[in-house]
Structure 1
């Protein structure tokens, strides 16, 4: 049996007789790779994704303009992991400890649990064509579609911020109204933008919105209890937290295809552990500020520091975090592989399907990081922002390719018979019905030219090879087993530097206000 490499679309050597190749039959790909209960649940939800697609295409075609394309593509950056990883340290450096810790909790939980659902169900994004994918990030399309992490993050951040705002009596009415309006615009821009840009369906964003709201309300209702545990004298609650994080990372479901959701979930889970350990220890130091209305943490006073010291504080803090990442990541990539090989020889390993074990490589090359770019990746990131949005049509990931092939096969089985197709509840409106049928006919086309085979002929291997060839620019990179522990250490370290390490440096070099406040007392 001939096999096809899902990443490149190349034909490989024949498989032994009787062996089923998961990449050969699109309809069997998820059935083979997923446990039975996950596959059945996926099959129940998949028709909803397919049913939504013509309506999404109708919406997109009738509201699109160049200005809105640019706006929604750019605003989507405000809901990414990279944006929040850059902005979260600033909250601590400007003294907003309660807000910063709450944001860390809701964002980490949102990224982790939405990613867990994505990898659990492996549901594709709505098909392209008929949808256009409008984005400034090629890596976003590599994830599954359900639920929308952007929507989860936007709602959890906005709702938690509004809850804190309404509980703060020191905010004037005008400021309160302005901030509420800003939160509403931000949320609608991100959530509706996911539909507009063809990246998600209605089901994806609705579940993402609900998940984000639940996480924000849970953080708001439990934050006093969390503070009592974290800021107590005992260190054991933090030990329990670290154990819980490691367990959650270990039980994260294996996806059927290579998906970056796990990497992002590990990074944000590590941030929670590092931030809480740093907050606990920093609160015991003499220059920590103690407020009646929020936990102890780094202090900030613009009146005391002024503009230039405030700017220097930010620049030095960002530089420290990047230096830590630049040193720690390659160091761990050098030290960890021999350790992994040792444990592998004695039969102890924690393998994941799409991660290469240490026994199969000698050296980990320089690897990009989709969560937080490295220093040498910053120029490329700036150039990509300058180039603006991209408008793509066709499969962009393995999940896209398999869904394209599976839907095309379904249409062939139905023989394009309208009687066998599920009827839309809006088929009464003739103009809409015509548009919906047009979009349905585009679903699963995948821009594959079958004319080379001759009229009326069909070759499944050629068809798959051509579909997978379309996703080459978007294929996921090779991943190594040591990256999991590396991310846990590096990102917990980033969080520690943000909440404790950098504030200590600020105090030592004259950019802090904690010691002056203590001496004034």
Structure 2
């Protein structure tokens, strides 16, 4: 029986949570891949133990910010305002593809992050831990940027000097290496997550490099049909995004980034047909730009003004839409034409959307900036224990499996992985000691060495109740005892996790309009404003 708030599935055992919420084919694929995540946990834990130092903690926590959606969303418009729309469009489109596809796969398979403990999570982003683990979006973003940049730098048509090209390529490789390794070091992902995230990023970069110019030529040569097709495709992509078993924010990020692409395509297509665009440029829709013609003060002023306008647009349109859309959504719902989505409260269940803090993972509101700066000053945050519903259900599944094996006399709980006994004991002791040194709240989550070794991996065949061949009367008695203990564990685990905020159905359309507008401002709205306030050539 599901709880009224839809957050905790109080009547479903840990092992059956995903089976009850996912279609059979998605559940089967998840069960095939889940043992990989579980089996690699000791290796990730040992890597973290061997490498950790205060300097590396700070370095990898800080560099992780360079792979976030917020960083890209604030930096990419500068490419348009400084006369490089080709690179701006290519980066935005490829990163949007990475955010969408990685989020699509995350919500499709619902694979957890490596468990904490034994891992310590090191992060500066409160929302990252609420997402599933496979694949790593940070790795996808970083490798997309790196591979595409290297392809451009190695292009025979590049005008950059060989020495500068070498330095830039080296920096790009270092950037990708820092982000990818950092996700493992920080305990946020396993090797499997970052491997497939990196492969996905490389594939997107190659597709953008070879097919992006074809798409741009088709777009700018169109009389408007291309823009309508792109809008239709993006709306379809948003609609078919799979619904996760837990409350995961991946869908919000996908809506935001794909909406920006729509705004860029609409604005770029129209701006190229105005007299504000640089008629002498080879690439359509180029904003007139020259360092010597503008001077650095004007260049900096146009960037600051452009960012300011983006925040003003968001600050005005978001509350306006959140206030005006609910009555429209209620009318649509009454007509039976709504498209409900799990974990989004329908308009019939609320009157107004309350003002919420930290309600956007992509571009924060102006009032949240001081909080972000405080996080930067703190450098990093560490946590030990489940942080999300996915974490809690994974920990619950481990405990349930352990109890079931014990009560039924199963001897199949031997570790699946081949880590040496001494290494397991040493890692377990170190993480047990580390957890005792944490705050009182963290100490409640600490593991004994036996529990730690149980988490190092169990036979994949034994992770499903159907695989246990036991007389029904014995199994029923065991299930009764297991369920009683599960309820106690459930209360304990869900009392410590980070609770997702309440989300409302009108937020989907709100994000679509707001972020589409941000894309339009980047390529047309702000360049026209620069022209009229004296910040253009």
When the two structures are superposed, what TM-score results if normalisation uses the length of structure 2?
0.87
Deviates more, 1:229-238 or 1:205-214: 229-238
Q: Could you tell me which runs of 5 or more consecutive residues in structure 1 were left unpaired when the two chains were aligned.
A: 10-20, 451-455, 514-521
Say if 1:449 and 1:186 are closer, same or farther in 2 by CA, change over 3 A.
closer
Q: Could you tell me which runs of 5 or more consecutive residues in structure 2 were left unpaired when the two chains were aligned.
A: 436-442, 449-480
Q: 2: CA distance between counterparts of 1:393 and 1:85?
A: 30
Q: 1: CA distance between counterparts of 2:219 and 2:492?
A: 54
Q: Secondary structure at the match of 2:99?
A: helix
Match of 2:412 among 420, 424, 429: 420
Displacement after TM superposition at 1:27 (Å): 1.2
Task: Quote the residue 1:15 is aligned against.
Answer: none
Match of 1:391 among 382, 392, 395: 382
Q: Does 1:488 align with 2:512?
A: yes
Task: Quote the residue 1:469 is aligned against.
Answer: 495
Asked if the contact 2:129–2:387 (Cα under 8 Å) also holds between the matched residues in 1, the reply is yes
Asked if the contact 2:121–2:188 (Cα under 8 Å) also holds between the matched residues in 1, the reply is yes
Q: Does 1:373 align with 2:364?
A: yes
Q: 1: CA distance between counterparts of 2:130 and 2:316?
A: 28
Displacement after TM superposition at 1:382 (Å): 0.9
Displacement after TM superposition at 1:224 (Å): 2.1
Q: 1: CA distance between counterparts of 2:285 and 2:163?
A: 29
Asked if the contact 1:267–1:487 (Cα under 8 Å) also holds between the matched residues in 2, the reply is yes
Q: Deviations over 1:448-500 (max 9, x none)?
A: 799xxxxx9963222110111111xx211000000000000000000100110
Task: Quote the residue 1:263 is aligned against.
Answer: 252
Displacement after TM superposition at 1:276 (Å): 0.7
Match of 1:500 among 524, 534, 537: 524
Task: Quote the residue 1:459 is aligned against.
Answer: 485
User: RMSD value over aligned CA atoms?
Assistant: 2.5
When the two structures are superposed, what TM-score results if normalisation uses the length of structure 1?
0.89
Asked if the contact 1:5–1:23 (Cα under 8 Å) also holds between the matched residues in 2, the reply is no
Q: Secondary structure at the match of 2:341?
A: coil
Asked if the contact 1:128–1:446 (Cα under 8 Å) also holds between the matched residues in 2, the reply is no
Displacement after TM superposition at 1:412 (Å): 2.2
Displacement after TM superposition at 1:415 (Å): 2.9
Asked if the contact 2:137–2:197 (Cα under 8 Å) also holds between the matched residues in 1, the reply is yes
Alignment size in residue pairs: 492
Task: Quote the residue 1:206 is aligned against.
Answer: 195
Q: 1: CA distance between counterparts of 2:34 and 2:2?
A: 28
Q: How does 1:157-168 map to 2 (within 5 A)?
A: 157-167=145-155, 168=157
Q: Deviations over 1:360-389 (max 9, x none)?
A: 111111232121101111111111111110
Say if 1:131 and 1:66 are closer, same or farther in 2 by CA, change over 3 A.
same
Q: 2: CA distance between counterparts of 1:461 and 1:245?
A: 42
Q: Secondary structure at the match of 2:40?
A: helix
Q: 1: CA distance between counterparts of 2:430 and 2:416?
A: 13
Q: Secondary structure at the match of 1:134?
A: strand
Q: 1: CA distance between counterparts of 2:128 and 2:213?
A: 35
Q: 2: CA distance between counterparts of 1:459 and 1:3?
A: 19
Say if 1:413 and 1:435 are closer, same or farther in 2 by CA, change over 3 A.
farther
Q: 2: CA distance between counterparts of 1:422 and 1:300?
A: 65
Q: Deviations over 1:374-412 (max 9, x none)?
A: 111111111111111011000000000000000111122
Asked if the contact 1:245–1:273 (Cα under 8 Å) also holds between the matched residues in 2, the reply is yes
Q: Does 1:29 align with 2:34?
A: no
Asked if the contact 2:241–2:251 (Cα under 8 Å) also holds between the matched residues in 1, the reply is yes
Q: Does 1:406 align with 2:383?
A: no
Task: Quote the residue 2:143 is aligned against.
Answer: 155
Asked if the contact 1:54–1:440 (Cα under 8 Å) also holds between the matched residues in 2, the reply is no
Q: Deviations over 1:297-325 (max 9, x none)?
A: 21211101112111110111111111110
Q: Secondary structure at the match of 1:217?
A: helix
Q: Deviations over 1:271-291 (max 9, x none)?
A: 010001111111111131256
Q: 2: CA distance between counterparts of 1:469 and 1:146?
A: 25
Task: Quote the residue 1:51 is aligned against.
Answer: 39
Q: How does 1:117-156 map to 2 (within 5 A)?
A: 117-156=105-144
Say if 1:118 and 1:344 are closer, same or farther in 2 by CA, change over 3 A.
same
Say if 1:32 and 1:177 are closer, same or farther in 2 by CA, change over 3 A.
same
Displacement after TM superposition at 1:169 (Å): 2.9
Q: Deviations over 1:103-154 (max 9, x none)?
A: 0111100000100000000110000000000001111000000000000000
Say if 1:299 and 1:419 are closer, same or farther in 2 by CA, change over 3 A.
farther
